[in-house]
Copies of this chain bind each other. A is one copy, B any other.
């Protein structure tokens, strides 16, 4: 998610306020991790996020990354992204938006909610009461599109 420095600072300010009002400590780890998440546009995994803050927090532990992400999710400043695969991935963009999922490399990019036409949700869907939605668009990201001449290796059968 693109963010101006101003928006970024504003968001961090909200988070600072919220930590105070919740009686939580404002640690450098939390600030740096939150900022790194906000500056990421690729829904990083906890491990990747650790790599991104390592220059600022050389001794940070993965456990702290996990705990901080939990805090951010609980406070409503981050969300876990629904993905396939074995690792969690997080999003610091809490506005309504869609996901562009590359079927070739698995990348997940955000697209503004306004980039697709609005869907009028019915009052009820088979007894389900909808209250919002996001579209998962699948296709090819620009990187994969430009390397299409190098076909992805076909999966061979499990040889046990």
Q: Smallest distance from the beta carbon of A66 to chain B beta carbons, Å?
A: 10
Contact A135 B134 (CB under 8 A): yes
Across-interface contacts of A129 in B (CB, < 8 A): 139-140, 142, 145
A134 to chain B, nearest CB (A): 5
A130 and B134 CA atoms in complex are apart in Å by 15
Q: Taking the full assembly, how many copies of this chain does it contain?
A: 2
Are B100 and A130 in contact (CB-based, < 8 A)? yes
| A117 and B119 form a contact (CB under 8 A) | yes
A67-B158, A84-B82 as given contacts; A132 in contact with B138, CB under 8 Å:
yes
Interface code A1-19, partner B: CB below 8 Å = 1, 0 otherwise? 0000000000000000000
The one of B117, B126, B130 that contacts A138, using a Cβ cutoff of 8 Å: B130
When distances are taken between beta carbons in the complex, the residues of chain B under 8 Å from A109 are: 126, 128
- The answer to whether A133 touches B137 (Cβ under 8 A) is yes
**A51 on interface, CB distance cutoff 8 Å:** no
Query: With the chains together, A21 CA to B48 CA distance in Å?
Result: 42
B22, B122, B132, B139: the one contacting A130 at CB < 8 Å is B139
Q: Is A47 an interface residue (CB 8 A)?
A: no
Do B137 and A130 have beta carbons less than 8 Å apart? yes
Residue among A117, A125, A142, A157 with most chain B CB within 10 A: A125
